[in-house]
């Protein structure tokens, strides 16, 4: 693997929607590096969690303008990856590897 998997997979995204997808479709949601492509994400998840990945879908979440009093700023732009595991694979528990 050319890139460090810990620099590709940054953190799990735990929301109501991601929890439902985890239970229903065997999909796990991660925040990943902006420069990472689908094949790198697949290899990183397989290396870190020792599971087989079926498919990877990605989204770029653009930053929004936020205000606190008079000062305005932007939230960061980040990339989200939805990783579907193959049938028969154990479900990823977030506290195992990352």
Find the CATH number of the domain harbouring 22: 3.30.70.330
Residues of the domain holding 32? 5-64+74-85
Residue 79 confidence (pLDDT)? 98
Residue spans of the chain under pLDDT 70: 1-2, 94-98
35 falls within a domain: yes
92 falls within a domain: no
Residue 98 confidence (pLDDT)? 47
The phi, psi pair for 93, rounded to 5°, reads -100, 130
Residue 92 confidence (pLDDT)? 87
Q: Which class for 80: exposed (0-12), middle (13-18), buried (19 or more C-beta within 10 A)? A: middle
**What confidence tens digit (pLDDT) does each residue in 31-45 have?**
999 999 999 999 999
51 falls within a domain: yes
95 falls within a domain: no
Residue 95 confidence (pLDDT)? 63
Three-state DSSP state, 4: coil
Three-state DSSP state, 70: coil
27 falls within a domain: yes
25 falls within a domain: yes
Quote the number of domains for the chain.
Answer: 1
């Amino acid at each position: 693997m050319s890139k460090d998997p810990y620099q590709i997979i940054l953190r799990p995204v735990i929301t109501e929607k991601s929890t439902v997808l985890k239970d229903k479709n065997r999909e796990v949601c991660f925040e990943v590096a902006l420069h990472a492509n689908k094949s790198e994400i697949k290899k990183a998840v397989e290396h870190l969690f020792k599971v087989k990945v079926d498919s990877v879908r990605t989204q770029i979440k653009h930053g929004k303008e936020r205000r606190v009093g008079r000062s305005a700023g932007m939230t960061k732009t980040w990339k989200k990856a939805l990783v579907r595991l193959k049938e028969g694979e154990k479900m990823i528990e977030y506290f195992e590897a990352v």
